[in-house]
């Protein structure tokens, strides 16, 4: 996934699954859609998925399998049978790979933001449900806020099950209060990371107008 928040959340999830008692982490599939087999910094393997060592922030490295969508799907389909399968993002290719490569009793997708296949900010607004929308109906969305969970339920027409999971992004699965941030007494600017309407851009713009002496970045 892109962005440190999603990346750290995914690594924290893996770290906690490895440390959990009574939980067996069967396999980690790394779908590499950014590199090719020629001319890339990390070229894809020529003959099926590649066994790699995945560095985990705050934990020990783990074994994973890296390859293209086709390589992972072709080699894993029918081979992986688990109780739960988790896609670390809700993109169509990630969810489709999970559903096609893994036979699971329960499927989950981590919902980090509002970049989904439905809702007022979707690029897939249409009368007939898209392939992406149909895929999401088969998973449980782990949403990083109550608002996102309600958003998924409403704009999917109650066809996608959404559950609140703060640890899907912020917090990175740490226990509440275990990593209290240090008070900030320095600085003179207000920073808004990736401003967009779902995050309350209109409210921040109004605050900026109301507080002319405060610097907003």
DSSP-derived secondary structure letter, 61: -
> How much is the pTM?
0.76
Give the closest residue to 117 by CA, choosing from 160, 165, 163: 160
- Residue that the structure tokens 């107008």 belong to: 209
Q: What is the pLDDT along the chain (217 residues), one digit of tens a residue?
A: 455 567 778 888 888 888 889 989 889 999 988 777 666 678 888 888 999 998 887 788 999 999 999 999 999 988 899 999 999 889 899 999 999 999 999 999 998 888 888 888 776 555 556 889 999 999 999 988 888 899 999 999 999 999 988 764 444 555 555 555 566 667 778 888 777 776 778 888 888 888 888 888 7
User: Which residues contact residue 22 at a Cβ distance below 8 angstroms, ignoring those fewer than 6 apart?
Assistant: none
Residues 109/141, Cβ–Cβ less than 8 Å: yes
Give the closest residue to 86 by CA, choosing from 143, 170, 142: 142
């Amino acid at each position: 996934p892109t962005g440190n928040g999603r990346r750290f959340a995914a690594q924290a999830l893996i770290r906690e699954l490895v440390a959990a008692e009574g939980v067996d982490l069967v396999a980690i599939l790394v779908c590499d859609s950014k590199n090719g087999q020629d001319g890339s910094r990390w070229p894809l393997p020529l003959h099926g998925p590649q066994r790699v060592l995945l560095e985990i922030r705050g934990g020990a490295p783990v074994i994973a399998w890296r390859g293209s969508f086709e390589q992972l799907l072709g080699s894993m389909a029918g081979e992986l049978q688990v109780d739960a399968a988790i896609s670390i993002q809700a993109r169509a290719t990630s969810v489709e790979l999970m559903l096609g490569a893994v036979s699971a009793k329960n499927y989950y997708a981590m919902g980090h933001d509002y970049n989904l296949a439905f809702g007022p900010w979707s690029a897939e607004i249409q009368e007939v449900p898209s392939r992406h929308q149909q895929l999401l109906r088969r998973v449980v969305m782990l949403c990083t806020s109550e608002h996102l969970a309600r958003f998924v339920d409403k704009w999917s027409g109650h066809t996608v099950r959404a559950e609140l999971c703060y640890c899907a992004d912020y917090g990175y699965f740490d226990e509440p209060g275990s990593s209290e941030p240090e008070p900030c007494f320095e600085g003179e600017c207000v920073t808004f990371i990736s401003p967009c309407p779902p995050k309350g851009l209109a409210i921040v713009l109004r605050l900026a107008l109301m507080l002319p002496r405060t610097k907003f970045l």
